Amino acid sequence: MLLKTRHLALCAVFLALASGCSIPSKIKLPALGYPEAIYTIPADNPAAGETAMVFGFTEPPYAPGVGRSASLDMAQALVQSGVFAGVKMNPAACSQSLQTLNAIARHAGCALFICGNISYYFEGSDFAAAGISQDIRVFKAGLPQPLMLWQAEAREAAAPIARTDYILFHSAGAAAPPTDLLLERNSAKFSHMIRDLPPSG
């Protein structure tokens, strides 16, 4: 009888301790590919061996600064993937005329230039999904009228993981990923597109 009482007491202690155990949750994002919508690609890929200029992306009025972050991420993704021989940043906004941007890029010795726009931006939380939608256009510079080579739109969204309670433990849940991460993922998609499409050979 005493042994059974001790077993019951130990079980009660174990359940009391285990009920406070927490298993952290981790949000899994899908593997990176190409942008979700590709509207234009060139007949031949002119990127190799050239220098490109990335201009400051335009942004929604409710998200000041996100356009600059997106353009910096774009430039970094291009450098990391080795798409171009060189990448230059210019804070001039893509809202300027194409003729003006074309002249700036040509004066800087760039064969191509990139413009982008953030059409949707939402910072997630423990309860709301994060999301961002952006597009880019890549132009050949130095012509009387810049020639558009690539045009695409990339979208990222990720929801938080809610806390789940079980008998012996609970899953702690996780907040939605930061939009900075989603921006980086979109930039990588654009970079992959410029590097791979159209296929060489």
pLDDT value, residue 23: 44
Average pLDDT, the chain: 85
pLDDT value, residue 176: 76
With cut-offs at 50, 70 and 90, classify the pLDDT of residue 31.
confident
pLDDT value, residue 156: 96
Q: Can you tell me the mean pLDDT for 136-149?
A: 95
Residue count (the chain): 201
Give pairs for 191-194: CB < 8 Å, separation 24+. Answer: 191/74, 191/77, 191/78, 191/80, 191/81, 191/83, 192/32, 192/33, 192/34, 192/81, 193/34, 193/35, 193/38, 193/41, 193/150, 193/152, 194/45, 194/47, 194/78, 194/83, 194/138, 194/150
pLDDT higher than 70, residue 10 = no
pLDDT value, residue 162: 57
For the segment 145-161, what is each residue's pLDDT rounded down to a tens digit?
Answer: 999 999 999 999 988 86
Highest average pLDDT, of 14-28, 64-78, 125-139, comes from 64-78
Lowest mean pLDDT across 1-5, 15-19, 70-74, 151-155: 15-19
Angstrom distance (rounded) from CA 181 to CA 179: 5
pLDDT value, residue 24: 46
Residue of higher predicted confidence among 76 and 169: 76
3-class SS of residue 147? strand
In single-letter form, the type of residue at position 130 comes to A
Residue of higher predicted confidence among 172 and 69: 69
pLDDT value, residue 29: 80
pTM of the model as a whole: 0.82
For the segment 153-197, what is each residue's pLDDT rounded down to a tens digit?
Answer: 999 998 886 555 454 444 555 777 899 999 999 999 999 999 999
Q: What are the structural domains, with CATH classification, of the chain?
A: 37-158+173-196 (3.40.50.10610)
For the segment 83-120, what is each residue's pLDDT rounded down to a tens digit?
Answer: 999 999 999 899 999 999 999 999 999 999 999 999 99
Interacting residues of 67 by C-beta distance below 8 A, sequence separation 6+: 56, 57, 58, 59, 93, 116, 117, 118
